[in-house]
Amino acid sequence: MFSNILIYFVVIPLLMLGLLAVSQNMKQIRAVAVTGSLALLGLSVYLLTDYLSLRAAGADAPMLYTDSWSWFAPLNINMAVGVDGISIAMLILSSVILLTGSFASWKINPHPKEFFLWLVLLSTGVFGFFISIDLFTMFMFYEVALIPMYLLIGVWGSGKKNYSAMKLTLMLMGGSAFLMLGLIGIYYNGGHTWNIVEIAQGNLIDPSWQNFLFPMTFVGFGVLGAMFPFHTWSPDGHASAPTAVSMLHAGVLMKLGGYGCFRVAIYLMPQAAEELAWIFLILTGISVVYGAFSACVQTDLKYINAYSSVSHCGLVLFAILMLNTTAMTGAIMQMLSHGLMTALFFALIGMIYGRTHTRDIREMGGLMKIMPCLAVCYVIAGMASLGLPGLSGFVAEMTIFIGSFEHTDTFHRVFTILACCSIVITAVYILRVVGKLLFGPVYDEHHLSLTDATWWERTSTFALIVCVAAIGCFPNFFEELIKFTFSPQIFAVIGMN
Protein backbone atom coordinates (compact mmCIF):
# COMPACT_ATOMS: atom_id res chain seq x y z
CA MET A 1 0.00 0.00 0.00
CA PHE A 2 2.77 2.44 0.87
CA SER A 3 4.56 1.83 -2.38
CA ASN A 4 2.14 4.22 -4.09
CA ILE A 5 3.34 7.79 -3.89
CA LEU A 6 -0.16 9.24 -3.79
CA ILE A 7 -1.06 7.69 -0.48
CA TYR A 8 1.48 9.96 1.19
CA PHE A 9 -0.74 12.92 0.47
CA VAL A 10 -3.04 11.49 3.11
CA VAL A 11 -0.36 9.95 5.29
CA ILE A 12 1.60 13.15 5.80
CA PRO A 13 -1.39 15.17 7.05
CA LEU A 14 -2.34 12.28 9.33
CA LEU A 15 1.19 12.23 10.73
CA MET A 16 0.95 15.98 11.20
CA LEU A 17 -2.24 15.49 13.13
CA GLY A 18 -0.50 13.04 15.44
CA LEU A 19 2.47 15.32 15.96
CA LEU A 20 0.27 18.33 16.55
CA ALA A 21 -1.67 16.40 19.16
CA VAL A 22 1.50 15.87 21.20
CA SER A 23 3.13 19.25 20.64
CA GLN A 24 3.61 21.34 23.72
CA ASN A 25 4.12 24.93 22.64
CA MET A 26 3.71 27.38 19.81
CA LYS A 27 7.18 26.69 18.48
CA GLN A 28 6.54 23.00 18.03
CA ILE A 29 3.14 23.62 16.48
CA ARG A 30 4.63 25.97 13.93
CA ALA A 31 7.47 23.58 13.24
CA VAL A 32 5.03 20.75 12.56
CA ALA A 33 2.76 22.89 10.39
CA VAL A 34 5.58 24.35 8.30
CA THR A 35 7.59 21.14 7.94
CA GLY A 36 4.49 19.16 7.08
CA SER A 37 3.27 21.55 4.45
CA LEU A 38 6.77 21.91 3.01
CA ALA A 39 6.89 18.12 2.76
CA LEU A 40 3.56 18.14 0.96
CA LEU A 41 4.74 20.85 -1.38
CA GLY A 42 7.94 18.94 -2.09
CA LEU A 43 5.97 15.79 -2.68
CA SER A 44 3.62 17.47 -5.13
CA VAL A 45 6.47 19.08 -7.03
CA TYR A 46 8.23 15.73 -7.21
CA LEU A 47 4.99 14.18 -8.40
CA LEU A 48 4.75 16.84 -11.09
CA THR A 49 8.21 16.16 -12.50
CA ASP A 50 7.75 12.43 -12.31
CA TYR A 51 4.37 12.69 -13.99
CA LEU A 52 5.78 14.79 -16.80
CA SER A 53 8.60 12.36 -17.42
CA LEU A 54 6.13 9.46 -17.46
CA ARG A 55 3.96 11.31 -19.97
CA ALA A 56 7.00 12.14 -22.03
CA ALA A 57 7.92 8.47 -22.00
CA GLY A 58 4.57 7.73 -23.58
CA ALA A 59 2.23 6.81 -20.73
CA ASP A 60 -1.19 7.51 -22.16
CA ALA A 61 -3.61 6.16 -19.59
CA PRO A 62 -6.11 8.81 -18.47
CA MET A 63 -4.92 8.45 -14.88
CA LEU A 64 -1.45 7.55 -13.71
CA TYR A 65 -0.26 6.04 -10.43
CA THR A 66 -3.57 4.23 -10.17
CA ASP A 67 -4.05 1.79 -7.34
CA SER A 68 -7.01 0.32 -5.60
CA TRP A 69 -7.49 -1.29 -2.20
CA SER A 70 -10.75 -2.93 -1.33
CA TRP A 71 -12.53 -1.26 1.52
CA PHE A 72 -16.08 -2.60 1.64
CA ALA A 73 -16.40 -5.38 -0.89
CA PRO A 74 -20.19 -5.98 -0.85
CA LEU A 75 -20.78 -2.49 -2.23
CA ASN A 76 -17.62 -2.43 -4.36
CA ILE A 77 -16.22 0.44 -2.32
CA ASN A 78 -12.50 0.82 -2.77
CA MET A 79 -9.84 3.25 -1.77
CA ALA A 80 -8.85 3.96 -5.36
CA VAL A 81 -6.28 6.59 -6.22
CA GLY A 82 -4.89 8.05 -9.42
CA VAL A 83 -3.95 11.45 -10.78
CA ASP A 84 -3.77 13.35 -14.02
CA GLY A 85 -2.45 16.80 -14.85
CA ILE A 86 -5.47 18.55 -13.37
CA SER A 87 -5.27 16.76 -10.04
CA ILE A 88 -1.56 17.48 -9.84
CA ALA A 89 -2.17 21.15 -10.47
CA MET A 90 -4.74 21.12 -7.68
CA LEU A 91 -2.39 19.26 -5.33
CA ILE A 92 0.31 21.87 -5.86
CA LEU A 93 -2.20 24.65 -5.32
CA SER A 94 -3.42 23.07 -2.08
CA SER A 95 0.04 22.58 -0.67
CA VAL A 96 1.10 26.12 -1.55
CA ILE A 97 -1.94 27.52 0.17
CA LEU A 98 -1.56 25.29 3.21
CA LEU A 99 2.02 26.47 3.55
CA THR A 100 1.25 30.14 3.15
CA GLY A 101 -1.81 29.75 5.34
CA SER A 102 0.37 28.35 8.12
CA PHE A 103 2.61 31.39 7.87
CA ALA A 104 -0.40 33.68 7.85
CA SER A 105 -1.66 32.16 11.13
CA TRP A 106 1.71 32.46 12.84
CA LYS A 107 0.19 34.19 15.84
CA ILE A 108 -3.23 32.57 15.92
CA ASN A 109 -5.00 33.01 19.23
CA PRO A 110 -6.55 31.36 21.27
CA HIS A 111 -6.02 27.57 21.17
CA PRO A 112 -3.34 27.42 18.47
CA LYS A 113 -3.00 23.67 18.76
CA GLU A 114 -6.67 22.97 18.17
CA PHE A 115 -6.75 25.48 15.33
CA PHE A 116 -3.97 23.74 13.48
CA LEU A 117 -5.47 20.33 14.22
CA TRP A 118 -8.70 21.27 12.48
CA LEU A 119 -6.87 23.06 9.71
CA VAL A 120 -4.75 20.00 8.97
CA LEU A 121 -7.78 17.72 9.17
CA LEU A 122 -9.43 19.94 6.59
CA SER A 123 -6.40 19.63 4.35
CA THR A 124 -6.43 15.87 4.75
CA GLY A 125 -9.87 15.93 3.23
CA VAL A 126 -8.73 18.23 0.44
CA PHE A 127 -5.71 16.15 -0.51
CA GLY A 128 -7.70 12.94 -0.23
CA PHE A 129 -10.36 14.37 -2.50
CA PHE A 130 -7.91 15.28 -5.23
CA ILE A 131 -6.17 11.89 -5.30
CA SER A 132 -9.33 9.76 -5.18
CA ILE A 133 -10.84 8.21 -8.25
CA ASP A 134 -13.39 6.23 -6.34
CA LEU A 135 -16.61 8.21 -6.01
CA PHE A 136 -17.36 6.95 -2.54
CA THR A 137 -14.00 7.74 -0.99
CA MET A 138 -14.02 11.00 -2.88
CA PHE A 139 -17.31 11.91 -1.24
CA MET A 140 -15.99 10.85 2.14
CA PHE A 141 -12.96 13.11 1.82
CA TYR A 142 -15.23 15.89 0.62
CA GLU A 143 -17.19 15.68 3.85
CA VAL A 144 -13.99 15.50 5.89
CA ALA A 145 -12.98 18.78 4.32
CA LEU A 146 -16.29 20.49 5.01
CA ILE A 147 -17.03 19.70 8.63
CA PRO A 148 -13.93 21.27 10.26
CA MET A 149 -14.99 24.52 8.65
CA TYR A 150 -17.87 24.77 11.09
CA LEU A 151 -15.60 24.73 14.11
CA LEU A 152 -12.89 26.83 12.53
CA ILE A 153 -15.33 29.63 11.84
CA GLY A 154 -17.44 29.15 14.94
CA VAL A 155 -14.51 29.25 17.35
CA TRP A 156 -11.81 31.37 15.73
CA GLY A 157 -14.02 33.57 13.58
CA SER A 158 -15.10 37.19 14.01
CA GLY A 159 -18.34 39.12 13.71
CA LYS A 160 -21.52 37.07 13.36
CA LYS A 161 -19.49 33.90 13.52
CA ASN A 162 -22.12 31.52 14.85
CA TYR A 163 -24.65 32.52 12.25
CA SER A 164 -22.10 32.34 9.45
CA ALA A 165 -20.68 29.01 10.51
CA MET A 166 -24.15 27.51 10.72
CA LYS A 167 -25.20 29.00 7.40
CA LEU A 168 -22.11 27.87 5.57
CA THR A 169 -22.27 24.36 6.94
CA LEU A 170 -25.97 23.90 6.33
CA MET A 171 -25.86 25.19 2.79
CA LEU A 172 -22.90 23.05 1.88
CA MET A 173 -24.54 20.06 3.55
CA GLY A 174 -27.62 20.76 1.47
CA GLY A 175 -25.39 20.53 -1.57
CA SER A 176 -23.95 17.30 -0.24
CA ALA A 177 -27.42 15.83 -0.02
CA PHE A 178 -27.98 16.42 -3.71
CA LEU A 179 -24.54 15.10 -4.38
CA MET A 180 -25.02 11.90 -2.46
CA LEU A 181 -28.25 11.22 -4.27
CA GLY A 182 -26.45 11.76 -7.55
CA LEU A 183 -23.53 9.55 -6.61
CA ILE A 184 -25.73 6.67 -5.49
CA GLY A 185 -27.66 7.03 -8.73
CA ILE A 186 -24.41 6.83 -10.65
CA TYR A 187 -23.43 3.68 -8.76
CA TYR A 188 -26.65 1.87 -9.55
CA ASN A 189 -26.90 3.03 -13.13
CA GLY A 190 -23.22 2.95 -13.91
CA GLY A 191 -22.59 -0.75 -13.73
CA HIS A 192 -22.25 -1.02 -9.96
CA THR A 193 -18.87 0.53 -9.74
CA TRP A 194 -17.64 3.67 -8.03
CA ASN A 195 -14.53 3.93 -10.15
CA ILE A 196 -14.51 7.14 -12.19
CA VAL A 197 -12.20 5.88 -14.90
CA GLU A 198 -14.21 2.74 -15.51
CA ILE A 199 -17.49 4.63 -15.73
CA ALA A 200 -16.07 7.30 -18.01
CA GLN A 201 -14.32 4.95 -20.40
CA GLY A 202 -17.32 2.70 -20.74
CA ASN A 203 -19.70 5.67 -20.81
CA LEU A 204 -21.78 3.38 -18.64
CA ILE A 205 -24.57 5.64 -17.48
CA ASP A 206 -27.81 5.40 -19.37
CA PRO A 207 -28.55 8.76 -21.10
CA SER A 208 -32.05 9.04 -19.67
CA TRP A 209 -30.63 8.65 -16.19
CA GLN A 210 -27.88 11.10 -16.98
CA ASN A 211 -30.46 13.83 -17.40
CA PHE A 212 -31.53 13.28 -13.84
CA LEU A 213 -28.13 12.65 -12.27
CA PHE A 214 -26.24 15.45 -14.02
CA PRO A 215 -28.19 18.30 -12.41
CA MET A 216 -27.92 16.55 -9.04
CA THR A 217 -24.16 16.32 -9.09
CA PHE A 218 -23.65 19.65 -10.82
CA VAL A 219 -25.74 21.51 -8.30
CA GLY A 220 -24.23 19.50 -5.46
CA PHE A 221 -20.72 20.56 -6.37
CA GLY A 222 -21.90 23.90 -7.72
CA VAL A 223 -22.97 25.00 -4.24
CA LEU A 224 -19.36 24.76 -3.15
CA GLY A 225 -18.31 26.48 -6.38
CA ALA A 226 -20.53 29.43 -5.39
CA MET A 227 -22.95 29.08 -8.27
CA PHE A 228 -25.81 31.53 -8.39
CA PRO A 229 -28.27 31.31 -6.55
CA PHE A 230 -26.52 29.04 -4.03
CA HIS A 231 -23.64 31.38 -3.30
CA THR A 232 -24.88 33.32 -0.31
CA TRP A 233 -22.86 31.30 2.17
CA SER A 234 -19.75 32.74 0.60
CA PRO A 235 -19.90 36.41 1.70
CA ASP A 236 -20.98 35.69 5.27
CA GLY A 237 -18.73 32.67 5.62
CA HIS A 238 -15.63 34.43 4.35
CA ALA A 239 -16.33 37.55 6.33
CA SER A 240 -16.44 35.66 9.60
CA ALA A 241 -13.68 33.15 8.97
CA PRO A 242 -10.16 33.65 10.33
CA THR A 243 -7.44 34.48 7.78
CA ALA A 244 -5.98 31.04 7.11
CA VAL A 245 -9.44 29.53 6.87
CA SER A 246 -10.57 32.13 4.35
CA MET A 247 -7.43 31.43 2.37
CA LEU A 248 -7.95 27.70 2.36
CA HIS A 249 -11.63 27.97 1.78
CA ALA A 250 -11.58 30.37 -1.12
CA GLY A 251 -8.25 29.10 -2.38
CA VAL A 252 -8.84 25.39 -2.25
CA LEU A 253 -12.26 24.34 -1.04
CA MET A 254 -14.13 26.31 -3.67
CA LYS A 255 -11.93 24.51 -6.19
CA LEU A 256 -13.35 21.23 -4.93
CA GLY A 257 -16.62 22.43 -6.39
CA GLY A 258 -15.20 23.22 -9.82
CA TYR A 259 -13.07 20.10 -9.85
CA GLY A 260 -16.05 17.96 -8.86
CA CYS A 261 -18.27 19.50 -11.52
CA PHE A 262 -15.66 18.66 -14.09
CA ARG A 263 -14.54 15.27 -12.81
CA VAL A 264 -17.92 13.85 -11.88
CA ALA A 265 -20.71 15.73 -13.60
CA ILE A 266 -19.15 16.37 -17.00
CA TYR A 267 -16.60 13.57 -17.19
CA LEU A 268 -19.09 10.84 -16.36
CA MET A 269 -22.20 12.19 -18.03
CA PRO A 270 -21.19 13.94 -21.24
CA GLN A 271 -24.47 13.45 -23.07
CA ALA A 272 -26.49 15.10 -20.34
CA ALA A 273 -23.88 17.79 -20.05
CA GLU A 274 -24.32 18.66 -23.66
CA GLU A 275 -28.08 18.62 -23.42
CA LEU A 276 -28.46 20.55 -20.19
CA ALA A 277 -25.46 22.83 -20.30
CA TRP A 278 -27.56 25.82 -21.37
CA ILE A 279 -29.47 25.95 -18.08
CA PHE A 280 -26.29 26.11 -16.06
CA LEU A 281 -24.63 28.43 -18.57
CA ILE A 282 -27.34 30.94 -17.80
CA LEU A 283 -26.88 30.51 -14.07
CA THR A 284 -23.09 30.73 -14.17
CA GLY A 285 -23.20 33.57 -16.67
CA ILE A 286 -25.34 35.44 -14.17
CA SER A 287 -22.86 34.57 -11.40
CA VAL A 288 -20.01 36.14 -13.32
CA VAL A 289 -21.65 39.51 -13.87
CA TYR A 290 -23.84 39.56 -10.78
CA GLY A 291 -20.95 38.83 -8.43
CA ALA A 292 -18.88 41.57 -10.02
CA PHE A 293 -21.69 44.15 -9.81
CA SER A 294 -22.39 43.25 -6.20
CA ALA A 295 -18.73 43.65 -5.34
CA CYS A 296 -18.83 47.25 -6.61
CA VAL A 297 -20.94 48.53 -3.72
CA GLN A 298 -19.64 46.52 -0.78
CA THR A 299 -17.73 48.32 1.93
CA ASP A 300 -16.30 45.37 3.83
CA LEU A 301 -13.03 44.18 2.30
CA LYS A 302 -13.92 40.54 2.79
CA TYR A 303 -17.37 40.98 1.26
CA ILE A 304 -15.78 42.58 -1.77
CA ASN A 305 -13.48 39.66 -2.12
CA ALA A 306 -16.19 37.11 -1.51
CA TYR A 307 -18.34 38.57 -4.26
CA SER A 308 -15.36 38.78 -6.52
CA SER A 309 -14.87 35.06 -5.83
CA VAL A 310 -18.45 34.43 -6.85
CA SER A 311 -17.66 36.16 -10.12
CA HIS A 312 -14.36 34.40 -10.73
CA CYS A 313 -15.57 30.95 -9.69
CA GLY A 314 -18.64 31.50 -11.81
CA LEU A 315 -16.25 31.89 -14.72
CA VAL A 316 -14.72 28.50 -13.88
CA LEU A 317 -18.06 26.69 -14.08
CA PHE A 318 -19.04 28.77 -17.09
CA ALA A 319 -15.94 27.62 -18.95
CA ILE A 320 -16.38 23.99 -17.97
CA LEU A 321 -19.85 24.06 -19.47
CA MET A 322 -18.49 25.25 -22.79
CA LEU A 323 -17.41 21.65 -23.34
CA ASN A 324 -14.32 22.15 -25.39
CA THR A 325 -10.65 21.66 -24.68
CA THR A 326 -9.60 25.28 -24.76
CA ALA A 327 -12.31 26.59 -22.48
CA MET A 328 -11.91 23.74 -20.03
CA THR A 329 -8.17 24.23 -19.93
CA GLY A 330 -8.93 27.85 -19.19
CA ALA A 331 -11.27 26.77 -16.40
CA ILE A 332 -8.54 24.79 -14.69
CA MET A 333 -6.10 27.68 -15.15
CA GLN A 334 -8.70 29.98 -13.65
CA MET A 335 -9.04 27.65 -10.66
CA LEU A 336 -5.30 27.81 -10.07
CA SER A 337 -5.18 31.51 -10.65
CA HIS A 338 -8.19 32.33 -8.52
CA GLY A 339 -6.99 30.04 -5.77
CA LEU A 340 -3.66 31.78 -5.53
CA MET A 341 -4.77 35.36 -5.88
CA THR A 342 -7.76 35.08 -3.63
CA ALA A 343 -5.61 33.44 -0.98
CA LEU A 344 -3.26 36.37 -1.39
CA PHE A 345 -6.15 38.80 -0.99
CA PHE A 346 -7.48 37.12 2.12
CA ALA A 347 -4.00 36.91 3.63
CA LEU A 348 -3.51 40.63 3.06
CA ILE A 349 -6.96 41.52 4.34
CA GLY A 350 -6.25 39.48 7.45
CA MET A 351 -2.98 41.31 7.96
CA ILE A 352 -4.58 44.71 7.48
CA TYR A 353 -7.46 43.79 9.78
CA GLY A 354 -5.01 42.57 12.39
CA ARG A 355 -3.53 46.07 12.47
CA THR A 356 -6.43 48.44 11.95
CA HIS A 357 -9.15 46.27 13.53
CA THR A 358 -11.57 47.26 10.84
CA ARG A 359 -12.35 45.95 7.41
CA ASP A 360 -14.58 48.82 6.41
CA ILE A 361 -13.00 50.73 3.55
CA ARG A 362 -14.78 53.89 4.67
CA GLU A 363 -12.75 53.89 7.86
CA MET A 364 -9.34 53.51 6.26
CA GLY A 365 -7.28 55.36 3.70
CA GLY A 366 -3.74 56.12 2.64
CA LEU A 367 -2.33 52.83 3.88
CA MET A 368 0.35 52.99 1.18
CA LYS A 369 2.12 55.56 3.28
CA ILE A 370 1.85 53.54 6.48
CA MET A 371 2.46 49.96 5.37
CA PRO A 372 4.03 50.14 1.90
CA CYS A 373 4.93 46.48 1.67
CA LEU A 374 1.42 45.22 2.35
CA ALA A 375 -0.04 47.92 0.15
CA VAL A 376 2.18 47.07 -2.81
CA CYS A 377 1.26 43.40 -2.42
CA TYR A 378 -2.40 44.41 -2.37
CA VAL A 379 -1.97 46.35 -5.59
CA ILE A 380 -0.30 43.35 -7.20
CA ALA A 381 -3.12 41.08 -6.05
CA GLY A 382 -5.61 43.56 -7.46
CA MET A 383 -3.77 43.70 -10.77
CA ALA A 384 -3.81 39.90 -10.94
CA SER A 385 -7.51 39.93 -10.24
CA LEU A 386 -8.34 42.43 -12.95
CA GLY A 387 -6.33 40.45 -15.44
CA LEU A 388 -3.07 42.28 -16.00
CA PRO A 389 -0.82 40.39 -18.43
CA GLY A 390 2.15 38.83 -16.71
CA LEU A 391 0.03 37.73 -13.77
CA SER A 392 -2.13 34.65 -13.63
CA GLY A 393 -5.61 36.10 -14.12
CA PHE A 394 -4.96 37.25 -17.66
CA VAL A 395 -3.92 33.94 -19.18
CA ALA A 396 -6.76 32.08 -17.52
CA GLU A 397 -9.42 34.51 -18.62
CA MET A 398 -8.12 34.81 -22.16
CA THR A 399 -8.04 31.03 -22.57
CA ILE A 400 -11.61 30.87 -21.37
CA PHE A 401 -12.80 33.60 -23.70
CA ILE A 402 -11.04 32.18 -26.74
CA GLY A 403 -12.42 28.74 -25.96
CA SER A 404 -15.93 29.96 -25.32
CA PHE A 405 -15.97 31.87 -28.55
CA GLU A 406 -15.50 28.64 -30.50
CA HIS A 407 -19.24 28.15 -30.31
CA THR A 408 -20.84 29.77 -33.31
CA ASP A 409 -24.41 30.12 -32.09
CA THR A 410 -25.75 33.42 -30.82
CA PHE A 411 -26.66 32.09 -27.38
CA HIS A 412 -23.14 31.04 -26.48
CA ARG A 413 -21.62 34.15 -28.01
CA VAL A 414 -23.88 36.56 -26.22
CA PHE A 415 -23.06 34.91 -22.93
CA THR A 416 -19.36 34.91 -23.75
CA ILE A 417 -19.45 38.64 -24.43
CA LEU A 418 -21.40 39.11 -21.21
CA ALA A 419 -18.67 37.22 -19.37
CA CYS A 420 -16.05 39.39 -21.09
CA CYS A 421 -17.78 42.44 -19.61
CA SER A 422 -16.65 41.24 -16.21
CA ILE A 423 -13.11 42.41 -17.01
CA VAL A 424 -14.36 45.99 -16.94
CA ILE A 425 -16.49 45.62 -13.82
CA THR A 426 -13.64 43.86 -12.06
CA ALA A 427 -11.41 46.81 -12.86
CA VAL A 428 -14.02 49.11 -11.34
CA TYR A 429 -14.27 47.42 -7.98
CA ILE A 430 -10.58 46.64 -7.67
CA LEU A 431 -9.53 50.20 -8.41
CA ARG A 432 -12.23 51.53 -6.13
CA VAL A 433 -10.80 49.57 -3.22
CA VAL A 434 -7.21 50.32 -4.09
CA GLY A 435 -7.99 54.01 -4.43
CA LYS A 436 -9.90 54.25 -1.18
CA LEU A 437 -7.86 51.92 0.98
CA LEU A 438 -4.29 52.46 -0.12
CA PHE A 439 -4.09 55.83 -1.83
CA GLY A 440 -5.29 59.24 -0.85
CA PRO A 441 -4.64 60.98 2.45
CA VAL A 442 -4.39 58.98 5.67
CA TYR A 443 -7.91 58.69 7.02
CA ASP A 444 -7.31 57.80 10.65
CA GLU A 445 -4.51 59.45 12.63
CA HIS A 446 -4.21 56.40 14.85
CA HIS A 447 -3.18 54.31 11.89
CA LEU A 448 0.03 56.27 11.52
CA SER A 449 1.65 54.28 14.31
CA LEU A 450 1.00 50.92 12.63
CA THR A 451 3.85 48.76 11.44
CA ASP A 452 4.55 47.11 8.13
CA ALA A 453 4.60 43.37 7.43
CA THR A 454 6.59 41.01 9.64
CA TRP A 455 8.88 38.37 8.18
CA TRP A 456 6.34 35.56 8.33
CA GLU A 457 3.74 37.75 6.66
CA ARG A 458 6.22 38.63 3.96
CA THR A 459 7.01 34.95 3.43
CA SER A 460 3.36 34.16 3.03
CA THR A 461 2.52 36.96 0.59
CA PHE A 462 5.75 36.84 -1.43
CA ALA A 463 5.38 33.10 -1.99
CA LEU A 464 1.89 33.61 -3.35
CA ILE A 465 2.98 36.52 -5.55
CA VAL A 466 5.79 34.42 -7.00
CA CYS A 467 3.29 31.68 -7.88
CA VAL A 468 0.85 34.15 -9.43
CA ALA A 469 3.63 35.67 -11.53
CA ALA A 470 4.98 32.25 -12.49
CA ILE A 471 1.65 31.21 -13.98
CA GLY A 472 1.30 34.58 -15.64
CA CYS A 473 4.74 34.55 -17.22
CA PHE A 474 5.05 30.90 -18.22
CA PRO A 475 1.49 29.85 -18.96
CA ASN A 476 2.42 27.35 -21.62
CA PHE A 477 3.90 24.98 -19.07
CA PHE A 478 0.66 24.82 -17.10
CA GLU A 479 -1.46 24.78 -20.20
CA GLU A 480 0.40 21.75 -21.51
CA LEU A 481 0.20 20.02 -18.15
CA ILE A 482 -3.54 20.42 -18.08
CA LYS A 483 -4.33 20.01 -21.72
CA PHE A 484 -2.98 16.50 -22.05
CA THR A 485 -5.62 15.41 -19.62
CA PHE A 486 -8.46 16.20 -21.94
CA SER A 487 -7.92 12.98 -23.78
CA PRO A 488 -10.03 12.79 -26.90
CA GLN A 489 -12.22 9.99 -25.58
CA ILE A 490 -14.19 12.33 -23.35
CA PHE A 491 -15.02 14.58 -26.21
CA ALA A 492 -15.47 11.77 -28.70
CA VAL A 493 -18.69 10.93 -26.90
CA ILE A 494 -20.19 14.34 -27.41
CA GLY A 495 -18.54 15.04 -30.72
CA MET A 496 -16.51 18.05 -29.62
CA ASN A 497 -12.83 18.69 -30.09
* Dist CA 91 CA 85 (whole Å): 10
By CB under 8 A, name the one of 95, 416, 459, 485 that touches another protein: 416
For 280, what's the count of Cα atoms within 13 Å in the CB-facing half-sphere?
33
Q: Which stretch binds another protein (CB under 8 A): 147-155, 194-202, 292-300, 311-319?
A: 292-300
By the rule CB under 8 A, 475 interacts with another protein: yes
Residue (21 or 170) nearer to another protein, CB: 170
User: What is the 3-class SS of the chain, one letter each residue?
Assistant: CCCCHHHHHHHHHHHHHHHHHHCCCHHHHHHHHHHHHHHHHHHHHHHHHHHHHHHHCCCCCCCEEEEEEEEEHHHCEEEEEEECHHHHHHHHHHHHHHHHHHHHCCCCCCCHHHHHHHHHHHHHHHHHHHHECEHHHHHHHHHHHHHHHHHHHHHHCCCCHHHHHHHHHHHHHHHHHHHHHHHHHHHHHCCCCCEHHHHHHHCCCCHHHHHHHHHHHHHHHHHHCCCCCCCCHHHHHHHHCCHHHHHHHHHHHHHHHHHHHHHHHHHHCHHHHHHHHHHHHHHHHHHHHHHHHHHHHCCEHHHHHHHHHHHHHHHHHHHHCCCCHHHHHHHHHHHHHHHHHHHHHHHHHHHHHHHHCCCEHHHCCCHHHHCHHHHHHHHHHHHHHCCCCCCHHHHHHHHHHHHHCCCCCHHHHHHHHHHHHHHHHHHHHHHHHHHHHHCCCCCCHHHHHCCCCCHHHHHHHHHHHHHHHHHHHCHHHHHHHHHCCCCHHHHHHHCCC
By CB under 8 A, name the one of 383, 384, 464, 465 that touches another protein: 383
By CB under 8 A, name the one of 387, 467, 481, 486 that touches another protein: 387
Q: Which stretch binds another protein (CB under 8 A): 77-85, 203-211, 397-405, 447-455?
A: 397-405
By the rule CB under 8 A, 440 interacts with another protein: yes
By CB under 8 A, name the one of 439, 443, 456, 491 that touches another protein: 439
Residue (49 or 408) nearer to another protein, CB: 408
By CB under 8 A, name the one of 21, 61, 170, 492 that touches another protein: 170
By the rule CB under 8 A, 466 interacts with another protein: no
* Dist CA 378 CA 131 (whole Å): 33
* Dist CA 325 CA 497 (whole Å): 7
* Dist CA 493 CA 148 (whole Å): 39
By the rule CB under 8 A, 173 interacts with another protein: no
Segment 293 to 312, residues that bind another protein, using CB under 8 A: 293-294, 296-298
* Dist CA 197 CA 203 (whole Å): 10
Q: Which stretch binds another protein (CB under 8 A): 151-159, 241-249, 343-351, 398-406?
A: 398-406
Segment 41 to 70, residues that bind another protein, using CB under 8 A: none
Q: Which stretch binds another protein (CB under 8 A): 16-24, 88-96, 287-295, 314-322?
A: 287-295
By CB under 8 A, name the one of 421, 448, 466, 492 that touches another protein: 421
Name the minimum Å distance from CB 49 to another protein: 21
By CB under 8 A, name the one of 132, 210, 240, 326 that touches another protein: 326
By the rule CB under 8 A, 132 interacts with another protein: no
Interface with another protein: number of residues (CB under 8 A): 54
Name the minimum Å distance from CB 342 to another protein: 19
Residue (323 or 368) nearer to another protein, CB: 368
By the rule CB under 8 A, 458 interacts with another protein: no
Provide the mask over 182-221, with x wherever binding to another protein is found by CB under 8 A and - wherever it is not. ----------------------------------------
By CB under 8 A, name the one of 3, 24, 49, 410 that touches another protein: 410
By the rule CB under 8 A, 445 interacts with another protein: no
By CB under 8 A, name the one of 53, 390, 411, 446 that touches another protein: 390
Residue (156 or 429) nearer to another protein, CB: 429
Q: Which stretch binds another protein (CB under 8 A): 87-95, 186-194, 352-360, 404-412?
A: 404-412
Name the minimum Å distance from CB 315 to another protein: 14
493 burial type by CB count under 10 A (0-12 exposed, 13-18 middle, 19+ buried): middle
The dihedrals phi and psi of 157, each to the nearest 5 degrees, come to: -80, -175
By the rule CB under 8 A, 451 interacts with another protein: no
Interacting residue ranges for another protein, rule: CB under 8 A: 167, 170-171, 228-229, 231-232, 290, 293-294, 296-298, 325-326, 366, 368-369, 383, 386-390, 394-395, 398-399, 401-403, 405-406, 410, 413-414, 416-417, 420-421, 423-424, 427-428, 431-432, 435, 438-441, 475-476, 479
